[in-house]
Chains A and B, each alone.
Chain A
Amino acid sequence: MTSAPTLLEVQDLHVSYGRIRAVQGVSLSVPDAAVVALIGANGAGKSTLLRAISGIVRPSRGAVRFLGEDLVGLPIHQIVRRRVVHVPEGRGILARMTVLENLRLGGFTRRGQADMALELDRVVTLFPVLRERRGQLAGSLSGGEQQMLAIARAMMARPRLLMLDEPSLGLAPLVVREIFRIIPRLTAEGTAVLLVEQNARMALQCAAHAYVLQTGCVVLSGRAADLLAAPEVQRAYLGAG
C-alpha cells in the first residue's frame, strides 16, 4: 500500500436485507486521492456496500470511518455534507430538469463556500459536452452523456470521496472508454474514487488498489496491477482461459 493517509476505513461491516445477509464482515480502506476498485459478480454485495457507506441502508454491525469520524447512523444529507458523494447505479439524474439545473443541484451543499459560476466552469471543463448541452433537458441526453452528467453533478459537491456504481452499465464500448479515461483525472481534483464495476478489466486498469467481493466477503485484495495478473482473477472475472 502507499503511504497516502487513509480517507475511508470500513471495518467489519455487515448489512442485511431481512434475512438475506448481503455484506458479511467487509473491511477495506481508501487512501486519499486514489482510485480503488471493487469488483465481483452480480449479487456479491458491491452496491450494498456503497449504499451502506452513503447512509442509504443502515449496517447491522461495523464502522465506516471517514477522516476518523464514524458515518454510521448519520442521515444521508449529513454524509453528503462531509463530501462523500454516491453516484448510484442507474445514474439518478433528473430527466425533466435541464443539464444546468442538475449541475446546480450537485452544488447544493456548498452554499457560501463557492462561486457557482466558477464551480460550473471547473466541472464542465472535465466534460466539455455538457457545456454545449447545458440548456437541454437531462432526459434528452444519450446514455453516455447522462452518465457524464451524473459524475459531473457529483463533482459539483467537490467530493473528497466519490463512489461510482457501475458507470459503464448499458453504455457502448467507446463511451465506456471515454468515461474510464476521465476517472483517474478526478483524483487530480483531490477526489478519491471508490469504483464498483462489473467490467473488471477496465476497473483494474484505472485503479491503484482493488478488492474482490464474493457473496458479501472480500476474497482477494491488493494492488490493481497484481490482481490483473492473478490467475484466479483472470479465470473468474476477466474471461481468460
Chain B
Amino acid sequence: MDFFAFLVVDGALAGAIYALVALAFVVVYKASRMINFAVGEWTMVGSRVAAAASHAFGLGLGGALGLGCVGMVALAVVFKRVVRRPLISRSLLSMIMVTIGAGIFMRGAAAVVFAGIPARIASPFPLDPLVVRGLPISVDKIVAAAIAGACIAALSWFFHGSRTGLALRAVASDQQVALAVGIDLHRHFAITWALVGILSVVAGTLWSFASGGGFGIELLGLKVFPIVILGGLDSLPGTIIGAFFVGILESLTAGYIDPLVGGGFSYVASYMVLIATLFVRPYGLLGRRDIERV
C-alpha cells in the first residue's frame, strides 16, 4: 500500500510538469488549429536558455527563469514573424510540417549555441527527501509541482479574468468574430507564442530538477500527445486532468510492470491509453465532439 501511495504521489508530481508542456501545446492549437510537433524542443531550448542565463550571470533560480522567459518570448515572437507569418492562409499540413522542421533546427542549433554551457541549473533545494507519513518525496519534485501548479492557476486566471485572455479565447472560438470586435489577430497569435515560450522555460527548468537525468528533455514532447488526446485537444481542464492521469499511469506501470517485463513498459503505457481513447472517445474526455481529425 505504501509503495502504491508513493507511486501515485510521484506520478502526480511529474504530471504537474507534463501539464505545463501540454498547455503550451493546447494554447497554440486552440488559437490557430496548429499542431506543434516541436513542443519538446521548445521545452528543451527553454531549459537551456534559463541554464545559460543562470551560468553566464550567476543568477539564482528566479532570475534565471525571468531572463529565460525574456529570451524565449523574444524567440517566440521572431518565430511567429519569420516562420509562421508567411504560412498564413496556407494549408494546415504545411504549418504542421514546419513545426517538425523547426524542431529539428532547434535541436541542432541548441547543440551548437549552447556548446560548453551546462545544460541545467543546479537545484537549489535540499537533496534529502522529505518524509510525509512514511513516504519519501524528493523536495525538487514537490517544489517543481508547486511551481507548475501556480503557473496553471495563473494561466487559468489569465484566460478567464483578463482582457487579453478573453480576446485569446475569442480568437480560439471564431476568428471572424474576433476580427469583427476589433481584435488584431497577428498580435494575439504572437501573444500565444510568447505564452509557449514562457511555459517552455518553466516546464523545461522544472523537469531538469525533477527528472534528475533520465531521458532527454525533447522526449517530454512525446508525452504531450497521449495527454491532449485523452483530455480533448481543445480543453484546458481536460489537458490538466490528462497530464495527471498520464503521470500517475507511468509511475504505476514503472513500479509494478516494468520489473516484470524488464523495463520500458511505462513509456508505452500512455500510448496504449491513447489508442484506446481514439477508439472509445476520439474527442477526448472534455473535448468538443466536432473536433477535426489530424
Bound form: Cα–Cα A86–B176 in Å: 11
Q: What residues of B have a CB within 8 angstroms of the CB of A106 in the complex?
A: 181
Contact between B166 and A81, CB atoms less than 8 A apart:
no
Nearest-neighbor residue (CB-CB) of B185 within chain A: A77
User: Which residue, A94, A104, A105, has most C-beta atoms of chain B within 10 A?
Assistant: A105
Contact between B181 and A109, CB atoms less than 8 A apart:
yes
Chain B interface mostly helix, strand, loop or mixed? helix
* A86 CB, nearest partner CB in chain B, Å: 6
Contact between A108 and B177, CB atoms less than 8 A apart:
no
Contact between A86 and B180, CB atoms less than 8 A apart:
yes
A157 part of interface (Cβ distance < 8 Å): yes
Q: What residues of A have a CB within 8 angstroms of the CB of B173 in the complex?
A: 94-97
Given contacts A97-B169, A101-B166, contact A108 B174 (CB under 8 A): no
Task: Among A54, A77, A94, A104, point to the contact of B177 (Cβ < 8 A).
Answer: A94
Contact between A153 and B181, CB atoms less than 8 A apart:
yes
List CB contacts (< 8 Å) of B121-159 with chain A. none
1/0 per residue, CB under 8 A from A, across B174-196: the answer is 10110111111100000000000
* B199 CB, nearest partner CB in chain A, Å: 24
* B85 CB, nearest partner CB in chain A, Å: 14
1/0 per residue, CB under 8 A from A, across B27-58: the answer is 00000000000000000000000000000000
Q: What residues of B have a CB within 8 angstroms of the CB of A97 in the complex?
A: 169-170, 173
Task: Among B166, B176, B183, B184, point to the contact of A104 (Cβ < 8 A).
Answer: B166
Given contacts A92-B174, A94-B174, A97-B173, contact A108 B167 (CB under 8 A): yes
Q: What residues of A have a CB within 8 angstroms of the CB of B176 in the complex?
A: 88, 92
A93 part of interface (Cβ distance < 8 Å): yes
Contact between B183 and A77, CB atoms less than 8 A apart:
yes
Q: What residues of B have a CB within 8 angstroms of the CB of A19 in the complex?
A: none
1/0 per residue, CB under 8 A from B, across A75-87: the answer is 1110011000110
Q: What residues of A have a CB within 8 angstroms of the CB of B169 in the complex?
A: 97, 101
Nearest-neighbor residue (CB-CB) of A76 within chain B: B179
A235 part of interface (Cβ distance < 8 Å): no
Bound form: Cα–Cα A106–B167 in Å: 10
Contact between A80 and B181, CB atoms less than 8 A apart:
yes
List CB contacts (< 8 Å) of A148-190 with chain B. 153, 157
B293 part of interface (Cβ distance < 8 Å): no
Contact between A157 and B182, CB atoms less than 8 A apart:
yes
Contact between A108 and B180, CB atoms less than 8 A apart:
no
User: Which residue, A77, A80, A104, A111, has most C-beta atoms of chain B within 10 A?
Assistant: A77
User: Which residue, A88, A92, A93, has most C-beta atoms of chain B within 10 A?
Assistant: A92
List CB contacts (< 8 Å) of A44-74 with chain B. 54, 56
In the complex, besides A54-B180, A88-B180, A153-B181, 9 extra interface pairs with C-beta distance below 8 angstroms are: A56-B179, A80-B180, A81-B182, A85-B180, A92-B174, A95-B173, A108-B182, A108-B183, A109-B181
Sample (10) of A-B pairs whose CB atoms are under 8 Å apart: A92-B176, A92-B180, A94-B170, A97-B169, A104-B163, A105-B183, A108-B163, A108-B183, A109-B182, A157-B181
Complex A-B, nearest 4 residue pairs according to Cβ-Cβ distance, in ascending order: A80-B182, A109-B182, A76-B179, A92-B177
